Structure 1
Amino acid sequence: MKCWHSTWLCQGLLATLLWTISLHSTLFTASPSSSIFAEAAPPDFTPTPRNRIFFWKVTSTTLAPDGVTRPVLLVNDKYPGPKIEVNRGDYITVIIENALDVPTSFHWHGLTMRGDPWYDGVPGMNQCPIPAGTNFTYAFGTDNMAGTHWWHAHFENQYIDGLVGAMIIRDLPETDPFLHAYDEERIVIISDWYHQATGPLLTQYLSPASNGFEPVPNNGLINGKHTFDCSTVQPTDLPCKQGERALFHFLPNRRYRLRIINSSAAAPFMFSIDEHQLQVIEADGTDLNPIMVDSVPINAGQRYSVIVTTNQELKNYWMRAEMGTSCLPNTTTNLNPVILGEVRYRGAGKAEPTSKGRFNPGPVAKGEDAPVNPAFTDACEDLDLYMLHPLKPEPILEPLTHSVQIKLSFKRDAHDKVVRGYMNDITYSGDPWRPTIAQNLNESVIYEVDQHVMKIEKPGAIVQIIFDNSGGGEHPFHLHGHVFQVIAQGDGRYVEGKTPINAVNPLRRDTATVPQNGFTVIRFKADNPGVWALHCHIEWHVTTGLVMQFVELPKELRAMGIPKHVGRLCETGPPKGFKPDTGFMPK
């Protein structure tokens, strides 16, 4: 294990792990409500970094977030799962007890895992899954990282079934540019939601009959809550009761920072609060020159921080997350795509809001179609790239050493007739128990084509990725291990030297939307040895192969080795009868 901070910190971490091992027989027998499973309080600011320790128990149960009961996966009996909240420079230790009867793993979305690539959490790339009934400890630093991030399972579509949560890394007071820009803050996790577990949904999706149309959500949630019309529930035998909406209690004339996280499996959203403007100050952990907007499009995997000032009339208002249905298959009849939460001003009482949104169509004449909410289309694209500039400027990365064009496509497999995703005519398929990071220990390794490996061997190489999506639907692409620059985004095809680029202080983030029938161009610097996934964050598309991986600085990575306890995860091998891409199959 690499020590990133002072000697005392490493000694403390070692002592913690030894204590964990010595108490193996008793540590994880406590109930989820006991003190070791309590969610940590917001961290205090300390002059020196600290080791922040979190104890997690992963279980399965049934839950009704919107009133419809279904099987779910949980951490510490919570959905969304427990929040990780630390200060920049702190060390994070997450001790996992996998109480499921299947393996699992966790990814720390937005963190670069510099120096700790084996904790990135992607089976088949940088670790093997955590076997059922065992414990595993993730331990990693947060140097030079701050902002709004999130964690989620990264094995077998498990995050769709509930394994998600917020990860907040607070900047230090002396370096936080927005320390005095707001009075309080709230976390807002928005998500699509399905009334069936992923198992039966995947069975349909990974069949020729689906024609490649991914499952469409039945609902959406704000902080794990919403309502649903029980008369339209499908399958009709699912238990259904009255759900409830998320509530946000605000004081008048205060400034609130909302940390918005889209933990969806597929759906983008347009986020807004009726009659309030939003000041955007952060995108995916990067502080921005503030801009004022009425609404924010946010795609799967993305995060934004906005400041909202409660200076409107003393009443209650709707918070809206309007689903981008225009970029989802039109295959459902029981979805209400406008997800609502309640913002209650103190002193306004508990009456349901009557506020109006940006889209308020009047009566529709007989025989005419109702107008389409523009949010359903606008949510499918990112905020205007040329509006977003980091508060701390950095020049565009150059000169280029690698420029790779990636053609995104879907086509039917000639053998099993299933429609799969392709990046440059390769559909990804990895072995969770044969991770690339272990294969890299053999310097003469030859990777299988369907592992879709690109090696970057030159330290400091500037890599440009051109996503060509000129013939398909939108895709939010996430790169592990890096914060990249977004230098171009638009309709049609990108033409080097002709298409305008965002060359002055370009936006830096880790998840960017490749628009429908369009392109996105990103750049990153190869200075982080590891095996890093590049994939669409529509989780269904991950299952069908819209994934590739970078083996970055393989020589340096080889010299780092792999910690023994990480390597031991691979000794168990797949459980008896394991079949990939089966999803959560409840008993």
Structure 2
Amino acid sequence: MKLLILVLSLFVTQIHCLKDLFYEYGYNSVCIQYEFNITHGFADPDGVYREVFLINNQSPGPLIKANEGDWIKVKVNNYLPVALTFHFHGLLQKGTPWADGPAGVVQWPIISGDSYTHLFQLNDQYGAFWYHAHYREYSGDGIYGPMYIKPAANRPRPYAVITNNTDELSEFMELEKEPTTLMAADWFKWTQDANIARTFTKGIDPLCIQSLLVNGKQRLTCPSNETFNKVHLRRWREKNSTSPVPIVRFPPVNMDSIGCYANPTTNGFKFLRNDQRLKYGQRFDDESLQAPGFSKPCKETRSEREIIYTMRKRYLYLNVYNVGGAFGKSFSIDDHDLVVIAIDGTFVHPLIAQRLIIPIGTRYTVLVKVDLEERAARGSDTSEPFAIRFAVTSGNQIKEGLSFLVYDYPLNLTDPIDGVKYDDIQAYNDPQNGEQFQDMGGLSLSPHYKSVNPLITRPFDPTLRPPLGPADHSVRLFLNRTGTIEFSMFADGDLAPRGLELEAPLLHQHQLNHNVSFSHINGVIDPGIKLGQTVDLIVDAAPDIKHPIHLHGHSVYAISSSVLQTFPYDCIVEAVADSYQGLNFDHPPLVDIFEVPNGGHLVLRFVADNPGFWLIHCHIGIHMASGMMGVLVEAKDDIPEMPEFLLYQAHANYDLMNSKAISSLSDVLQEEYNDTKW
């Protein structure tokens, strides 16, 4: 009877969704409906209680699952005391740019007590995606979740490159229907509103995370200061060995009990110059603020970690995410190779590795062999859990997030699992079973271990190549720090307005008046891109910080990259004429988020086939909030008309030109920065 009710409920839901498609858009297709209730809660995902935001009473939120070509309808009901918006990361939103989510760009914020419905089609996309809040960094309070699009039957798959065993090939196709999700998220001691206030009024940047959640779970442990310093020394040695300007002396740091330290090249007000420390020290109390290097003493907890069970299968099909808003990460599973088969929703030529480098927002799909008989033959101890390790690799913190791989089914929690009880598994703080590939700082433990980063991947589909020849438009960006807590993506230091999220959405303004100009708004990039033209983004970075940059509405080909130099030409034509060796038109990586190396560059190519106003921004939350974003205007004469009812979304009026920024550093602090800029 319960099953019958469920089937009838799904049928009625689909009927309503199809009705909306017909009346609102004139389409007739498969449509799947979700309803998300966003609520304010109090939870302890890492054993420490704090305020959280929940999606249908959980975080991460429910899996959105569909087939390639389906329509998705997501109704968001905002029961929070604050506004928010939703973004579906990596989805192109072709034909429905108004469903992309960023406030001030395509819609108003969803005010408390209101609802907003996203309706879009999953055309020409498949694989692992995710959704998250796109307003005031509320994804860091728990508003995020996984999304999976099952590939169409005619998609070229790389499985036959991995094996010619028909049973294994059949198993891959079956596993593809229900992948296992692993989402690593940065979790702070404070809410995101508190973090923003601390950052913009006290200059606390970068922020330190309290824990690294895996599927919304973690247990706090407290490694010794000696352990932290050993890892820090290894991290410094590796960085120094690849730096174009080696540092002669190991720089000592003030490491606190959660592995966070003050980095003089990246920190805000406190460490601009040594001779300013006394002046700032008089104004701020580091210990009370818990600035980097001054966190309160660590206290261990006994909360649960995530456990992945093999279910006696021969392979796991994993979608591995970095959904944090602060740090890049590395990933490994002790004693298990990872076969990379997709990145950012695109199948790639398989790569075998022991470690993945995962910039913020990136998703890998990997196959992991977990054949019990094969393990027994090689002498592995499958009665003990294997460590699944995420670790922070960027910024100023050493932090690891553990979960476990167990060779069995999830039995009753008090029953033995191949000789190991559930509580015993949770008690492992330093599991040692088989070969460990990375340390708690995310560094490889041997030069013989292979690592994969997005820039060495190649699309498996041979038709996925960038257009050759000159670009119609070359847009140059420069990622740099322009103030104590100011980050820009423009050479002239322009910052996107902090009040942009509350402004009348650019897409709305354009629909109401196609001749409207946005030249008065910093960060709007409108070089006159026409439909079908080729666009190059030349993205250089200052030498201090890596920035993960996300362009909405597109996946992009990385046709040039360097960790040593900014791009030495004004356009690709000049580089070709000079026989520049750093170009790659032969199967370059295809991604939707790209980490620009500090002091280096990326050149990214795409075809303007998706008219709209597309946000481009740093995916480090505080950097975006402080101005490191822009809006790329694409083929504005061909932007589709949005449904008129969306123009009447409830909102609060806000005048960008006559209002002060929501949060801004005091003039005194900014003057101090200008006097001491490195």
- Does 2:495 align with 1:427? yes
Which residue identity lines up with residue 355 of structure 1 in the other structure?
A: N
How far did 1:230 drift?
Answer: 7.9
- Inter-partner Cα distance in structure 2 for 1:393 and 1:505: 9
In structure 1, what is the equivalent of residue 164 of structure 2? none
- Inter-partner Cα distance in structure 1 for 2:387 and 2:218: 13
Secondary structure of the corresponding residue to residue 649 of structure 2: helix
Which residue identity lines up with residue 393 of structure 1 in the other structure?
A: T
In structure 2, what is the equivalent of residue 500 of structure 1? 582
- Does 2:401 align with 1:339? yes
The alignment yields a C-alpha RMSD, in angstroms, of 3.2
Matches within 5 A, 1:548-567: 548-557=630-639, 560-567=640-647
**Of 344, 349, 360, the match for 1:300:** 360
In structure 2, what is the equivalent of residue 222 of structure 1? 214
- Report the structure number with the largest CA radius of gyration: 2
In structure 1, what is the equivalent of residue 129 of structure 2? 149
In structure 2, what is the equivalent of residue 385 of structure 1? 455
Q: Percent identity?
A: 26
- Does 2:196 align with 1:202? yes
Does the aligned pair in 1 maintain the 2:437–2:445 contact within 8 Å?
no
Matches within 5 A, 1:204-353: 204-207=198-201, 209-210=203-204, 213-229=205-221, 241-252=301-312, 254-311=314-371, 312=375, 313=380, 314-315=382-383, 316-324=385-393, 327-329=394-396, 337-346=399-408, 348-350=418-420, 351-352=424-425, 353=431
Secondary structure of the corresponding residue to residue 170 of structure 2: coil
**Of 613, 617, 621, the match for 1:531:** 613
How far did 1:579 drift?
Answer: 7.1
- What do residues 212-258 of structure 1 show as CA deviations (whole Å, max 9, x unaligned)? x2212121011111111489687869998421110011145611110
Secondary structure of the corresponding residue to residue 450 of structure 1: coil
- Inter-partner Cα distance in structure 1 for 2:309 and 2:624: 38
CA gap of 1:384–1:176, structure 2 versus 1, over 3 A, is closer
In structure 2, what is the equivalent of residue 31 of structure 1? none
Does the aligned pair in 2 maintain the 1:131–1:569 contact within 8 Å?
no
Matches within 5 A, 1:331-410: 337-346=399-408, 348-350=418-420, 351-352=424-425, 353-356=431-434, 358=436, 374-375=443-444, 383=453, 385-399=455-469, 400-410=471-481
- Does 2:653 align with 1:573? yes
Does the aligned pair in 1 maintain the 2:617–2:630 contact within 8 Å?
yes
Secondary structure of the corresponding residue to residue 439 of structure 1: helix
How far did 1:569 drift?
Answer: 1.6
- Does 2:138 align with 1:158? yes
Q: Which has the larger share of helix?
A: 2
- Inter-partner Cα distance in structure 1 for 2:526 and 2:15: 38
- Does 2:49 align with 1:69? yes
Does the aligned pair in 2 maintain the 1:456–1:550 contact within 8 Å?
no
Does the aligned pair in 1 maintain the 2:392–2:442 contact within 8 Å?
no
CA gap of 1:237–1:214, structure 2 versus 1, over 3 A, is closer
How far did 1:136 drift?
Answer: 1.7
- Inter-partner Cα distance in structure 1 for 2:82 and 2:90: 26
TM-score for both structures, normalised by structure 2: 0.71
How far did 1:340 drift?
Answer: 0.8
How far did 1:208 drift?
Answer: 5.6
**Of 524, 536, 543, the match for 1:464:** 536
- Inter-partner Cα distance in structure 2 for 1:395 and 1:388: 10
Which residue identity lines up with residue 207 of structure 2 in the other structure?
A: P
Matches within 5 A, 1:51-90: 51-90=31-70
CA gap of 1:14–1:146, structure 2 versus 1, over 3 A, is closer
How far did 1:500 drift?
Answer: 1.6
Does the aligned pair in 2 maintain the 1:250–1:345 contact within 8 Å?
yes
How far did 1:461 drift?
Answer: 1.0
**More off after superposition, 182-191 vs 51-60:** 182-191
Secondary structure of the corresponding residue to residue 194 of structure 2: helix
Which residue identity lines up with residue 93 of structure 1 in the other structure?
A: K
Which residue identity lines up with residue 647 of structure 2 in the other structure?
A: G
- Inter-partner Cα distance in structure 1 for 2:460 and 2:529: 29
- Inter-partner Cα distance in structure 2 for 1:464 and 1:207: 37
CA gap of 1:499–1:477, structure 2 versus 1, over 3 A, is farther
- Inter-partner Cα distance in structure 1 for 2:17 and 2:296: 51
CA gap of 1:92–1:75, structure 2 versus 1, over 3 A, is same
Unaligned runs of 5+ in 1: 1-8, 20-47, 331-335, 362-370, 583-587
Which residue identity lines up with residue 42 of structure 2 in the other structure?
A: T
Does the aligned pair in 1 maintain the 2:353–2:452 contact within 8 Å?
no
- Inter-partner Cα distance in structure 1 for 2:219 and 2:489: 37
Which residue identity lines up with residue 388 of structure 2 in the other structure?
A: M
- What do residues 445-468 of structure 1 show as CA deviations (whole Å, max 9, x unaligned)? 221241433244321111001111
Does the aligned pair in 2 maintain the 1:281–1:288 contact within 8 Å?
yes
- Inter-partner Cα distance in structure 2 for 1:470 and 1:503: 26
Which residue identity lines up with residue 530 of structure 2 in the other structure?
A: K
Does the aligned pair in 2 maintain the 1:69–1:195 contact within 8 Å?
no
In structure 2, what is the equivalent of residue 544 of structure 1? 626
Does the aligned pair in 2 maintain the 1:208–1:418 contact within 8 Å?
no
Does the aligned pair in 1 maintain the 2:40–2:51 contact within 8 Å?
yes
**Of 546, 554, 561, the match for 1:474:** 546
How far did 1:437 drift?
Answer: 0.8
Which residue identity lines up with residue 222 of structure 1 in the other structure?
A: V
Q: Which has the larger share of strand?
A: 1
Secondary structure of the corresponding residue to residue 440 of structure 1: helix
How far did 1:396 drift?
Answer: 2.3
CA gap of 1:243–1:323, structure 2 versus 1, over 3 A, is same
Secondary structure of the corresponding residue to residue 56 of structure 1: strand
CA gap of 1:120–1:384, structure 2 versus 1, over 3 A, is closer
Secondary structure of the corresponding residue to residue 622 of structure 2: helix
The alignment covers a number of residue pairs equal to 520
Secondary structure of the corresponding residue to residue 155 of structure 2: coil
How far did 1:57 drift?
Answer: 0.4
CA gap of 1:419–1:95, structure 2 versus 1, over 3 A, is closer
How far did 1:472 drift?
Answer: 2.8
- Inter-partner Cα distance in structure 2 for 1:360 and 1:113: 38
Which residue identity lines up with residue 206 of structure 1 in the other structure?
A: F
How far did 1:540 drift?
Answer: 1.3
